[in-house]
Structure 1
Amino acid sequence: MRTRSQGGPVSNGRSEPRRPTVVVIGGGYAGTLAANRLTSVDDIDVVLINPRPHFVERIRLHQVIAGSGTADVGYDTLLHGRVRLMVATASRIDVAAGTVELAGGDHISYDYLVYAVGSRGRPLDVPGAREHGYIFAEWEDAQILREHLAAVAVSGVVTIVGGGSTGVEVSAELAESGRRVRLICAGEPAPTLSERGRRSTRRVLRRLGVEIHEQTCVTEVRRESVLVVDRDGVVTELPGVATVITAGFEVPDLARRSGLTTDDLGRLSTDETLTSVDDPRIVAAGDASAPSGHPLRMSCQAAEPLGAQSANTILSRIAGTVPTPLNQAFVGQNVSLGRRRATIQLSRLDDAPRRLVVSGRFGASIKEAICRGTLWAIRREARRPGSYTWLRGGDRAGVVGADTERR
């Protein structure tokens, strides 16, 4: 009868260790890199569970809806040959049994689990938003929105709700493609950038013809319009052919439904080694992790290092050694402004913006190199497991939280 270890090599009840199985839930930036890194040890079986048969470059989804690029990548080009891809949706984690239950009734056993379920768009909590708004964060969202825009007049206004990085990128991409775009911000566009970065971003948006409504909140979404209220309390109805919600992100409730401890948003609560506070066999990575109650900003910049860290923690537990704590640093934020311009905001290691900003065409070339680099890092880890390295920071006490918008 097989037994389970609480942190050391797995035993089969006899003297020799048994080959452990590590299941990774979520095939995004964090989960895919973690799966590849786990293959650096030969006697481990690695299974990656993902609801889609292809990888989604979420940082390119704004290109999909504007028709300026694609965002789907074959896993056959990203995964190490020893990683088994299982196209399925995890519906529950049975912690006591050490199994992941799948939609449809099947289940898979694990010795260790990487919880990398990522994040998704957060619905706007106003009347009509769910019925008439287009949430923008997933592959399926982009396909639905692209089809809708193809069916409506180019002269009609597309309303973007949310002035964070996603809203700004969608606005610029659509405007550059010839669409009329209206951006509604509760504050101002790109609020996490420095004053210089915000000023540069706003200037490009206006040059592209984006109609910016600052200090304005949406109170209702209708089929062909939105109701807004400005800082003076004036209510206005703004017509449009589509309303796109980019006002924030949330995480799937898989951990909470499985009885695991989470933070208020639903991210898995872990210690500084990314290990669940409930079970040492479960390790989190990416947007759905909350180490010591201080999650990192939702971004692929954080996701890949967290994926590597989660794999290192599991490999340490299998080897019977002490995992090292999280030591993550940031270098900046990168905001696309169409295909020809971008704002590159340099930051301190704790993610606080510096005054240094790179913009224009040179910024766009940097942004494109960064987007390509994320996949390059995953592919390199598949070719040479354990080779991925990342910038390390210092004291995590001053790290900016993850409640700012992704990217």
Structure 2
Amino acid sequence: MTANTNVVVIGGGYAGVMAANRLTQRDDVTVTLINPRATFVERVRLHQFVGGSDDAVVDYRDVLAERVGLVVDTVTRIDAAERCVTIATGGTIDYDYLIYAVGSGNADPAVPGAAEYAYPIATLEQAQRLRSAVDGVPATAPVTVVGGGPLGIETAAELAELGRTVTLVCGGVLGPYLHPRGRRSVAKGLSRLGVTVLDGLGTTVTGVTGAAVRLSDGRELPSTVTIWAAGFGVPDLARRSGLSTDALGRLLTDETLSSVDDERIVATGDAAAPSDLPLRMSCQAALPLGSHAADTVLSRIAGDRPATFGKGIAAMCVSLGRRAGVFQLAHRNDTAMRLHLSGRLGAKLKEAACQSPVKQLAGEARKPGSHTWPVNDHKRRELLRAKRGEALVR
């Protein structure tokens, strides 16, 4: 009789759910998913939650395979030597393999006053607090969004469409990933909504108070509600547990996504740094990463050599309120191309991109092992070759 294998997945976001569902291909694998919330959060819709157009949550029964056991709790420590995790409510859960899918959030802002007065928006709880803050001030109250990436752009547009007075402070380039043509489309869309965009030199935030935002060029902007959509961070669970991480706290792995410290620990999603070359943060990356993490574990259970990861990201889509958006296509090396689609078509493509991950998770839950991802990451191959070449020179 084949022995049962216990796999624990820490984190119930896009990558964690995909991995958990895929693991149920084998009847002799018991899968436990540990997540601090009882519902699946659609992070790509948190800006919609703040604006009131979506609740940004999905019942786990709609996306999680029936055979996956859900534990609503928080992991406080990983004990690699004993192969167990400690949970916040007390006790431990043993594992044979562990998938580390803790996700990401805002980095702790080093800007004076930001931690006290600005509202981050990377988690459901943060979005709930922000929504209450926005609802509690007059419609004419000035709102400042800090961060010129997709989250900042989308949040600014969402609130402006509701008639809010919004300033978007980029701290540099608006939409840094976008091709200049796509960036111009985003800028025009924000302008039509009445968003004031401050980008370029002098737009780095140097201080936040309860009533204003200070910029590096000396300007002081009135701001009743300041939203912090800049920076990137991951939970420090791996670091606190004595595992090797990169500077931001992502678990260091090889190209199979296995921890450099312990092959029985496999990382995925935003919290993984394969070969110290992490992928661009995106649910587009999370789904194939989740699939691959599960495949690595299943290969080891079967006694096979795990494959290396090689999937990529095909595009970036940005909503500009509910009626417009920009769908930026990318080359195979993950650089933006001239071609982009905008306006109502861009909005439809963005909505399709938001719906797709939930559909893919539900499909994997119904038929584990069915998920495929057609895009190959040519840029990653180039980066790995360059890195290995540098190592040879040294």
Q: Residue in 2 aligned with 1:103? A: 88
Matched, 1:115 2:100: yes
Q: Residue in 2 aligned with 1:349? A: 332
Q: Residue in 2 aligned with 1:226? A: 213
> 1:399: Cα distance to partner?
5.9
Is contact 1:123-1:135 (8 Å) kept? no
Equivalent of 2:376, from 393, 404, 407?
393
> 1:125: Cα distance to partner?
1.1
> 1:349: Cα distance to partner?
2.0
Matched, 1:324 2:307: yes
Q: Residue in 2 aligned with 1:238? A: 221
Matches within 5 A, 1:206-225: 206-215=191-200, 216-225=203-212
Q: Residue in 2 aligned with 1:310? A: 293
Equivalent of 1:191, from 158, 176, 197?
176
Matches within 5 A, 1:14-163: 16-163=1-148
Is contact 1:350-1:399 (8 Å) kept? no
Matched, 1:360 2:343: yes
Alpha-carbon distance between aligned partners in 1 of 2:99 and 2:108, rounded to the nearest angstrom: 27
> 1:330: Cα distance to partner?
1.5
Alpha-carbon distance between aligned partners in 1 of 2:357 and 2:232, rounded to the nearest angstrom: 21
Alpha-carbon distance between aligned partners in 2 of 1:207 and 1:394, rounded to the nearest angstrom: 36
Which has the larger helix fraction?
Answer: 2
> 1:68: Cα distance to partner?
1.4
Is contact 1:122-1:135 (8 Å) kept? no
**What residue identity is the alignment partner of 1:325?**
T
For 2:215, what is the secondary structure of its paired residue? strand
Q: Residue in 2 aligned with 1:181? A: 166
Alpha-carbon distance between aligned partners in 2 of 1:68 and 1:75, rounded to the nearest angstrom: 21
When normalised by structure 1's length, the TM-score is 0.92
> 1:104: Cα distance to partner?
2.8
Is contact 2:314-2:375 (8 Å) kept? no
> 1:394: Cα distance to partner?
4.9
Alpha-carbon distance between aligned partners in 2 of 1:185 and 1:287, rounded to the nearest angstrom: 23
> 1:135: Cα distance to partner?
1.1
Aligned length: 381
Alpha-carbon distance between aligned partners in 2 of 1:248 and 1:149, rounded to the nearest angstrom: 22
Q: 1:369 to 1:399 in 2, by over 3 A?
A: farther
Query: Residue by residue, what CA displacement relative to the aligned partner does 1:194-247 show, whole Å, maximum 9, x if unpaired?
Result: 0101011001101100011112111110011111123xxxx1221121000111
Is contact 2:315-2:330 (8 Å) kept? yes
Query: Residue by residue, what CA displacement relative to the aligned partner does 1:339-392 show, whole Å, maximum 9, x if unpaired?
Result: 111110000122111111000000110111111111000000000000000024
Structure 2's unaligned 5+ residue stretches are 385-394
Alpha-carbon distance between aligned partners in 1 of 2:107 and 2:120, rounded to the nearest angstrom: 7
Query: Residue by residue, what CA displacement relative to the aligned partner does 1:270-321 show, whole Å, maximum 9, x if unpaired?
Result: 1110011111111010000001111100110000000000000000000001
> 1:184: Cα distance to partner?
0.5
> 1:74: Cα distance to partner?
0.7
Tell me the C-alpha RMSD between the 2 structures: 1.2
Matched, 1:297 2:284: no
Is contact 2:313-2:377 (8 Å) kept? no
Is contact 1:30-1:306 (8 Å) kept? yes
Equivalent of 2:263, from 259, 273, 280?
280
For 2:249, what is the secondary structure of its paired residue? coil
Query: Residue by residue, what CA displacement relative to the aligned partner does 1:38-71 show, whole Å, maximum 9, x if unpaired?
Result: 0011111000000000000000000011111120
Q: Residue in 2 aligned with 1:170? A: 155
Is contact 1:118-1:251 (8 Å) kept? yes
The percent identity for this pair of structures is 53
Is contact 1:49-1:89 (8 Å) kept? yes
Deviates more, 1:78-87 or 1:235-244: 235-244
Is contact 1:296-1:399 (8 Å) kept? no
4+ long deviations beyond 3 Å? 397-400
Is contact 2:2-2:28 (8 Å) kept? no
